[in-house]
């Protein structure tokens, strides 16, 4: 699906080499954006960018660790050097599936894993915004899309460190929206539901994904492409007077 709604825009997708991020990157490129895939997984980032270029669209990969300030500054600089602008930032990178997390109870999570969860999912989002907002300010225009999770609303037992970061993203989105609105920058958030983002899911993951169907109004497994329309909406001029908002995209599991 493509209507060129992002023609000429430069869009950074963090964690765009795998899973849902790859779907955001593919769809935004199909909508005419120059896509920059900022990935820790170098091979996955380059493969995703190459696939987009092979489809006749524009993409580059920049090896990035969102938890590292120097790496995020280098990312913004690479975009400025290549395209002279940044219009869209999707803060999708997280410790979730490709970088595995413990799915255990609160007192069984290793302390170093708690710290790295905060460093990537929360600090990484903040550092990317710190690096990119100055470039957006130069043109008085920008679209930042943060990624939370339906788990932040439901609070399911286990993996409290992950859910805590995703709840943090909800507040982060509101504060940043108020601070950067004066520069023409919109900040919104997508909260995906339980999504089959793995290329080759193991039997347990498959069970987890299909098990989520019974709690939904719409009775099927959620796939990465279910999320791309919301991302294009928040990235496009169609949402120019919307900021500080979170859209839950989960087939009606969470209603608020």
Query: Does the footprint of ligand NAD cover residue 48 (CB under 6 A)?
Result: no
Task: Give the C-alpha separation, 113 to 153, whole Å.
Answer: 22
- CB-CB neighbours of 8 under 10 Å: 12
Closest CB to ligand NAD: residue number? 19
Reply yes or no on whether 162 is catalytic: yes
68 phi and psi, to 5 degrees?
A: -115, 120
Burial degree of 117 (CB within 10 A; 0-12, 13-18, 19+): buried
Nearest to 147 by CA among 231, 72, 23: 231
Query: Does the footprint of ligand NAD cover residue 120 (CB under 6 A)?
Result: yes
Task: Give the C-alpha separation, 243 to 234, whole Å.
Answer: 9
Query: Does the footprint of ligand NAD cover residue 64 (CB under 6 A)?
Result: yes
Please tell me the count of residues contacting ligand NAD according to CB under 6 A: 31
In angstroms, give the least distance from the CB of 232 to ligand NAD. Answer: 16
**Which of 9, 19, 37, 76 is in the footprint of ligand NAD by CB under 6 A?**
19
CA angle 10, 12, 15 (to 5 degrees): 155
Query: Does the footprint of ligand NAD cover residue 31 (CB under 6 A)?
Result: no
> Which residue among 3, 24, 141, 162 is the active-site one?
162
Query: Does the footprint of ligand NAD cover residue 97 (CB under 6 A)?
Result: yes
In angstroms, give the least distance from the CB of 162 to ligand NAD. Answer: 7
Stretch that binds ligand NAD, among 26-34, 64-72, 229-237, 238-246 (CB under 6 A): 64-72
Q: Catalytic amino acids?
A: 162
């Amino acid at each position: 699906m493509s209507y060129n709604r992002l023609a000429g825009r430069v869009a950074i997708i963090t964690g765009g080499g795998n899973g849902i991020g790859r779907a955001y990157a593919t769809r935004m490129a199909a909508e005419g954006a120059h896509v920059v895939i900022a990935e820790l997984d170098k091979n996955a980032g380059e493969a995703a960018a190459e696939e987009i270029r092979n489809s006749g669209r524009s993409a580059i990969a920049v090896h990035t660790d969102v938890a590292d300030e120097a790496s995020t500054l280098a990312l913004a600089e690479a975009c400025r050097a290549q395209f002279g602008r940044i219009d869209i930032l999707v803060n999708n990178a997280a410790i979730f599936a490709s970088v595995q997390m413990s799915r255990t109870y609160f007192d069984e999570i290793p302390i170093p894993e708690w710290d790295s969860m905060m460093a990537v999912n929360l600090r990484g989002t903040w550092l990317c915004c710190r690096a990119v907002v100055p470039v957006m300010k130069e043109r008085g225009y920008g679209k930042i899309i943060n990624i939370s999770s339906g788990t932040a609303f439901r609070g399911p037992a286990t993996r409290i460190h992950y859910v805590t970061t995703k709840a943090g993203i909800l507040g982060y989105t509101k504060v940043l929206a108020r601070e950067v609105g004066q520069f023409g920058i919109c900040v919104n958030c997508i909260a995906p539901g339980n999504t089959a983002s793995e290329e080759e899911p193991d039997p347990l993951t498959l069970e987890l994904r299909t098990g989520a169907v019974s709690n939904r109004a719409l009775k099927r497994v959620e796939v990465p492409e279910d999320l791309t329309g919301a991302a294009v909406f928040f990235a496009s001029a169609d949402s120019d007077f919307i900021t500080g908002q979170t859209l839950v995209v989960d087939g009606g599991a969470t209603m608020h």
